[in-house]
């Protein structure tokens, strides 16, 4: 009963916060559109429609960038310094995790349109993700970035799902994921909590790596659940 009441209260707070978060992010774009309306007041209809249309497109881009920036700042401020933990859902750590998860989800629609780019690399790093040199991150589905490490020269394919958390009974379990140097994570693969992927390893497209799997360097894994299929030459 207590958990149900807590969940309903937190859901209400999240809805209100979402309106504020996205509303603030809209301000620069709204200013641009209103300014364009004012500026083109005496233009002929075709030119006015053209300028207003362009301003609306720019306003949408500005909303996405502002949302990413706001989330990056909040994520940087509130990101926890934790390793492997198991805590009850009704705990301070769980509430903090939930807040970071909420603001990350608010930015996800924007990140989706920006990957791969320096903008999303900045976003993930601000939220605590350790991304090495010359990496190519093409996924918008890196959850709990502060628990993810990606080594140098690694490639994270499109729609790859990296999730360092899971629910077990009444507990929240957070377990870091480490991806080594020169790794390739194929399209749509899924990496679960506690996985360690060695240098030069390859995870095939659509493969699902079970939780707490340790993949040695240079191996190729595929399938559901993922298993070793060969050693790289």
Give catalytic residues, as residue numbers.
165
What is the residue whose two structure tokens read 């240098």?
199
Q: Is 72 strand, coil or helix?
A: helix
Which residues are CB-contacts of 95 (< 8 A; sequence separation ≥ 6)? 10
Q: What is the maximum alpha-carbon separation in the chain? A: 70
First-to-last CA distance in the chain? 57
Do residues 55 and 33 touch, judged by C-beta distance below 8 A? yes
Helix (H) or strand (E) holding 76: helix 45-78
Cβ–Cβ < 8 Å for 200, 183: yes
Neighbours of 14 (CB within 10 A): 17
* Chain centre to alpha carbon of residue 63: 17
Q: What residues contact 175, with CB distance under 8 A and at least 6 apart?
A: 84, 147, 164, 165, 166, 193, 194, 211, 212
- The residue among 74, 67, 142 whose CA lies nearest residue 107 is 67
As given in the structure block, the two tokens for residue 148 are: 């993810």
């Amino acid at each position: 009963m207590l958990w149900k009441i807590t969940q309903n209260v937190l859901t209400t707070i999240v809805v209100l916060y979402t309106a504020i978060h996205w509303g603030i992010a809209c301000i620069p774009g709204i200013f641009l559109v209103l300014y364009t309306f004012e500026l083109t007041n005496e233009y002929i209809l075709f030119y006015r429609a053209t300028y207003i249309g362009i301003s609306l497109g720019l306003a949408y881009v500005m909303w996405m960038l502002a949302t990413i920036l706001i989330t990056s700042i909040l994520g940087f401020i509130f990101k926890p310094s934790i390793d492997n933990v198991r805590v009850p859902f009704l705990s301070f750590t769980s509430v903090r995790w939930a807040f970071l998860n909420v603001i990350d989800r608010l930015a996800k629609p924007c990140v989706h349109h920006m990957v791969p780019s320096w903008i999303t690399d900045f976003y993930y790093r601000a939220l605590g993700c350790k991304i090495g040199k010359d990496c190519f991150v093409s996924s918008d589905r890196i959850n709990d970035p502060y628990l993810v490490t990606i080594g140098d020269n690694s490639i994270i394919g499109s729609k790859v799902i990296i999730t360092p958390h899971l629910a077990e009974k009444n507990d929240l379990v957070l377990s870091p994921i480490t991806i080594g140097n020169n790794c390739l994570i194929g399209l749509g693969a899924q990496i679960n909590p506690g996985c360690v992927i060695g240098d030069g390893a390859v995870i095939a497209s659509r493969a699902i790596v079970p939780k707490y799997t340790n993949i040695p360097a240079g191996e190729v894994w595929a399938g559901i659940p993922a298993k070793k299929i060969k050693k790289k030459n």
